[in-house]
Amino acid sequence: MDVVIREIRETDYSDVVMLWNNDLGSPTVTSGNISARIERLNSDENYKIIVAVSDSKVVGCISMVQIMALEYEIGYLQINGLVVQKNAQQKGIGTKLIDHAEDFASKNGLSYMILNCGFQRTKAHEFYESKGFDRLSYCFTKAVR
pTM of the model: 0.80
| Residue 4 confidence (pLDDT) | 97
Q: How far apart are CA 74 and CA 92, in angstroms?
A: 30
pLDDT value of position 122: 59
Residues of the chain under the 50 pLDDT cut: none
DSSP-derived secondary structure letter, 34: H
Give the pairing of strands 4-7 and 57-67.
unpaired
DSSP state of 92: S
pLDDT for 93 equals 95
What is the DSSP pairing of strand 113-115 with strand 76-84? Answer: parallel
Residue 98 and residue 47: Cα distance in Å, rounded?
15
48, β-bridge pairs = 64
